Amino acid sequence: MRTQPNIIVTGTPGVGKTTHCETLAQNTGLKHMAINDVVKSRECHDGWDKEFGCWIVDEDKLLDVIEDEVKQGGYIIDWHACEVFPKSWIDLVVVLRVDSTVLYDRLKARNYAENKLQENLDSEIMEVLLQEARDAYDEEIVVELRSDTAEEMENNIERIESWITNWKKNNAAEKEQ
């Protein structure tokens, strides 16, 4: 039984996943696992997609590479997708959402190509990642949070930190029984 939870922070690029994950890792001692970095550094890909400017992820290899670590617990997984991770690994799925005008400005500032920018805006508007999370995990562990402003991000961090504290208390109590 794990003594630390595993959390996925997911959402469309530009919603604040990495900012949330880095702050949570710093505040809680959990480890930030940026899947894009894992894909690149551990070569869990089938090459580079020039059209969208990203790695073509080999999901099976990715899962094989991180399985032993994640099963131990204590990870905040940062990625734009969540359904690839087995339910048994995950204790909380946080889907960050932003207003499409805020998202447009954030992605434009990152110099996203127009097709990539539009695909991500469409994904956010159509709630694609939220629906994927709801389809892949039990309803009670999927939480949708707004991430338009710095204040909302701070509130999200506090809420997730509180959840982590409660998870640890509840699981310590279960272990003692």
Is 40 marked within a binding site?
Answer: no
Is 11 marked within a binding site?
Answer: no
Pairing of strands 31-34, 54-57: unpaired
Helix segments in 49-149, DSSP class H? 59-72, 100-109, 114-125, 128-136
Is 110 marked within a binding site?
Answer: yes
Dist. CA 125–CA 52, nearest whole Å: 19
Is 74 marked within a binding site?
Answer: no
- Find residue 77's DSSP bridge partners: 8, 33
Is 17 marked within a binding site?
Answer: yes
The answer to whether 102 and 13 have CB atoms below 8 angstroms apart is no
Is 175 marked within a binding site?
Answer: no
Backbone torsions φ then ψ of 51, nearest 5 degrees: -60, -45
The residues, ordered by sequence, that sit 6+ positions from 165 with a Cβ below 8 Å of its Cβ are none
Q: Which residues are annotated as a binding site?
A: 14, 16-19, 110
Q: Which residues are annotated as a binding site for ATP?
A: 14, 16-19, 110
